Amino acid sequence: MPITRNAKKALRASERKNAVNDRTKKVLKEGVKTVHKLVLAKQWTEAKESLSKAYSAIDKAAKKGVIKKNTASRKKSRLSRLSKEAK
């Protein structure tokens, strides 16, 4: 446990940032899972709509620093390839 006043404040800030990052990661994972499920179910129009939402979530996570830029690019590339190959 932190002892000094500054360490206590740093802990509170860290907990807030952790909560925001966890929320961002959850939205990211849900978006990717949705696309995967729709592609497996062969629901192409819904998959295309959710693909743009997943792209948005990936870009926001990369912008906030939750994931790195190359990781975001890789995820987007794999989702795009998945939706193209499945057709």
Taking the CB of residue 60, how many other CB atoms lie within 10 A of it? 16
Could you give the CA distance from residue 83 to residue 42 in angstroms, rounded to a whole number? Answer: 10
Give me the torsion for CA of 80, 81, 85, 87, rounded to 10°. 0
15/87: higher pLDDT: 15
CA 20 and chain centroid, separation: 12
- Of the listed ranges 16-20, 26-30, 47-51, the least confidently predicted one is 47-51
pLDDT (0 to 100) of residue 84: 82
Average pLDDT over residues 52-57: 95
The amino acid that residue 79 corresponds to is L
The pLDDT confidence band at residue 83, using thresholds 50, 70 and 90, is confident
How far is Cα 40 from Cα 60, in angstroms, rounded to an integer? 26
87 confidence band (pLDDT: 50, 70, 90):
low
